[in-house]
Amino acid sequence: MASEIKDKKQSDHKSSYREGLLFLPELLSPAGDYETAVGALNAGADAVYLGASAFSARAYAKNLDTEEIIEIIRYAHLFGKKIYLTSNILMRNSELKELLDITDRLYEAGLDGCIIQDLGVLSLFSERYPDMERHASTQMAILSSAGARMLKKYGVTRVVPGRELSLAEVKAIKAEGLQAECFIHGAMCYGYSGRCLMSSLAGGRSGNRGRCAGPCRQFYRCDGGDEGYIISMKDMCSVKAIPELIDAGVDSFKIEGRMKDAAYSAGVTSVYRHVIDDYIRTGRFILSKDDEYALKNLYIRSEVQEGYYFKHNGKDMISVDSPAYVKVPDELKSAVREKFLSGRLKTPVSAKIIVKKGEALTFELNAGTCTITKKGDVVDAASSKPTQDDVIREKICMTGATDYEITELLIDNDGESFVPMRALKKIRRNAFEELAESESFGKTNTRKITKDIGDGLSLIGTSSKRGKRKAALEPVYYAGVSDAGQLSEVINSGFIGAVIVPLDLLTDNGNLAEDIRQSGKSLYLRLPGIVRQKDLGRIRKKLNKAVEEYCPDGVYADSYDALALASEFFEKEKIHTDLHMYSFNSYSIRELLTEAAYYTIDVESNIRNIEEKSEPENAELIAYGHIPVMYSAGCVILTAKGGCNRNENRTFISDEKGHSFPVIPVHEYCYNVIYNCVPTSLHTVLDDVKEAGIAKVFRLEFTVESEEDTRRILKYYEDGARGDAPGCLKQYTNGHLFRGAM
């Protein structure tokens, strides 16, 4: 079985360059446990990505312990393959030491790279593991060359772009000198990855912590439209796009699915291996009927779609009728398991054994540039029947328990000697054990960590001297608005010191800037929540107009793409990062404050976590607002109401519990924002929050409120949140401030 597996799975796909093809893409497969990792490698994956313990975006996958990952690294490296660790969640201060402990061991064992979401973790890894690959996770929501360029200073070599990007947009990121790791198969979120707070705020399970409860897979009713699973994406199957992706220079083809089993990962990997290799070899797209059957039946929802590479959105991308997976046929699963999960790959080696009386038994192994020579006891002359070559060959070639296969054996036997079977077994075993140590650990275990972990985490515990700082902090109030009616109420409110206005609202209504100036309030721009490559030109044009004509006091950026644009027009002292620029730990905050003067406290931390990491003089806290829980390239109105209607500026989707979520289409840039069903409001705990001294700026964010509700909320906060709350605050949440997200 072993040789059959080797012939089928270890075909040298890197030896068949078609004329004009300048590179070979990597096939990157998922693994949630040890068996799945081995199966994916057996099936032809060039690399496997996997998670350690709970430090990955699939906390409910089995994941692997450190020793299992070290063994997988060893196994992968025998065949020139790579292992990437997913560290793609947001990390708290209290978790960083354990993360570094684990990563230190894996780094020294030869880990090839890490896929990272948290900016603080990225900065720590760039300092601690400078020669290890660092990939920006899709959770970092990099959607343009501008955002990608920002990450190069951290030694990022590869970006996993948002799955919503077109192939042209992916090419723009590559033009920055970065590799592109693009999803080609598997489940898709309705929202932009890394920007979704729906599971967190609706159910306490954070997607940014690897614990998404899948709210987009639930049943919803659209106000005035259809009902069904209207925000549940069909699974991606981009197999027919492989030729164009290869020709475009995509560096790594990524299969989603660390929560799925070994048969899925191995089976899907083998299909894409065939398609990639056939196109590289022949220049033609070839998909056999057996492979097509496998793709359509291995853990796929009832229908599939090709993804966003060649379209922006569409109802045909949504599984409106059912979000469930089809049952995997038993015979298909059995066939995959038999083919790829019943054995291990074998590395071919050559060997030589010398059997001569009066001399030591000598056995030599050759694997690439590595040669192992072992000597045994002195060989005796045969008293009756000498040991024959066929007996020697049988015993020496018994390599079933190893990762090697002797494909060439030279026997130098004088024909007069006798060698006990136990001597042949012993010398074979000793040689292969030394070869394994030399080939894997001897070759890759050359990196050593010399820095103490405590030195790397010096910020923890030093970010705050609360007693002195909170007495000096009297928060000021800023207000964000979404329309001119809300702005009018904010301008008339005496306690608001600054107004945050969407860039497009300001540039389309130039008189608003003068109204704000006359009120004596500061004016801040807010860049779009989604900034894609296709939009960079017009956003720059509007920014230039706003800066030249309205002289804003600063700007708010809510993504790395937006932050990069902000830095082109504003000095650091005028830049504020918003809530999706996550400040989960002291190192994230440190890095944000190298680019901006203020950061927004993340909405998933509790007050204790905030106090541990906060830099209050530079911090802003959202005291009121409907939090945006999802940004999506999909369009609810298009899906549920039969077509895009640029005149409709709001709708609602309601879940089966009756919770109604406002949906705002941003027509200018063609994305939807889904807001939480109730506002986050700290009016009942305002004095406690002030006493904690965690932020200099308190923000009120007005998004879906009417003018009347805006006026009432402003008045209530101006009065110090005393007395009876207005009716519009009868339903609210404190968010995670006193509990924290899982």
435 and 497 share one domain: no
- Of the candidates 287, 313, 340, which is a domain's last residue? 340
Does residue 359 have a pLDDT over 80?
A: yes
Q: Is residue 457 part of a domain?
A: no
pLDDT of residue 300: 77
The C-alpha atoms of residue 393 and residue 390 are separated, in whole angstroms, by 5
> The domain that contains 13 carries what CATH number?
3.20.20.70
Q: Is residue 28 part of a domain?
A: yes
**203-255 pLDDT, tens per residue?**
889 999 988 999 999 999 999 999 999 999 999 999 999 999 999 999 999 99
pLDDT of residue 168: 95
In order, the DSSP letters of 234-275 are PEEE-GGGHHHHHHTT--EEEE--TTS-HHHHHHHHHHHHHH
> The domain that contains 526 carries what CATH number?
3.20.20
Q: Which residue reads 């981009």 in tokens?
A: 238
Q: Is residue 214 part of a domain?
A: no
Phi and psi torsions of 592, nearest 5°: -60, -40
The C-alpha atoms of residue 556 and residue 600 are separated, in whole angstroms, by 10
pLDDT of residue 471: 47
End-to-end Cα distance, the chain: 45
Angle 584-588-593 from CA coordinates, rounded to 5°: 125
Question: Stretch 109-121: mean pLDDT, rounded?
Answer: 97
411 and 327 share one domain: no
76 and 156 share one domain: yes
pLDDT-derived band at 186 (thresholds 50, 70, 90) equals very high
pLDDT-derived band at 448 (thresholds 50, 70, 90) equals confident
Q: Is residue 177 part of a domain?
A: yes
Question: Stretch 543-566: mean pLDDT, rounded?
Answer: 98
313 and 354 share one domain: no
148 and 253 share one domain: yes
Q: Is residue 388 part of a domain?
A: yes
The C-alpha atoms of residue 558 and residue 599 are separated, in whole angstroms, by 10
Q: Percent of the chain beyond pLDDT 90?
A: 76
Residues with Cβ within 8 Å of 549's Cβ and at least 6 positions away in sequence, in order, are 510, 513
pLDDT of residue 237: 94
Q: What token pair was written down for 68?
A: 């299992």
pLDDT-derived band at 455 (thresholds 50, 70, 90) equals low
SS3 call for 294: helix
Q: Is residue 711 part of a domain?
A: yes
**E-strand stretches of 569-650:** 575-577, 599-600, 619-625, 628-632
pLDDT-derived band at 62 (thresholds 50, 70, 90) equals low
Higher-confidence residue of 152 and 16: namely: 152
323 and 376 share one domain: no
The C-alpha atoms of residue 151 and residue 561 are separated, in whole angstroms, by 10
519 and 390 share one domain: no
287 and 178 share one domain: yes
pLDDT of residue 510: 85
280 and 417 share one domain: no
316 and 365 share one domain: no
> What domain range includes position 184?
2-202+228-340
Q: Is 637 exposed, middle or buried (0-12, 13-18, 19+ CB in 10 A)?
A: buried
- Of the candidates 340, 370, 391, which is a domain's last residue? 340
Q: Is residue 119 part of a domain?
A: yes
15 and 120 share one domain: yes
| Residue 620: strand pairing partners | 600, 697
Of 517-526, 594-603, 659-668, 721-730, where does mean pLDDT reach its minimum?
721-730
Region for residue 660 given its phi and psi (left: phi exceeds 0; alpha: psi -120 to 50; beta: otherwise): beta
The C-alpha atoms of residue 482 and residue 474 are separated, in whole angstroms, by 27
298 and 354 share one domain: no
pLDDT of residue 22: 57
- Of the candidates 412, 444, 476, which is a domain's last residue? 444
3-state helix, strand, coil in the chain (%, to 5): 40, 20, 40
What total of structural domains would you count in the chain?
A: 3
Phi and psi torsions of 381, nearest 5°: -70, 145
**576-607 pLDDT, tens per residue?**
999 999 999 999 999 999 999 999 999 999 99
Q: Is residue 373 part of a domain?
A: yes
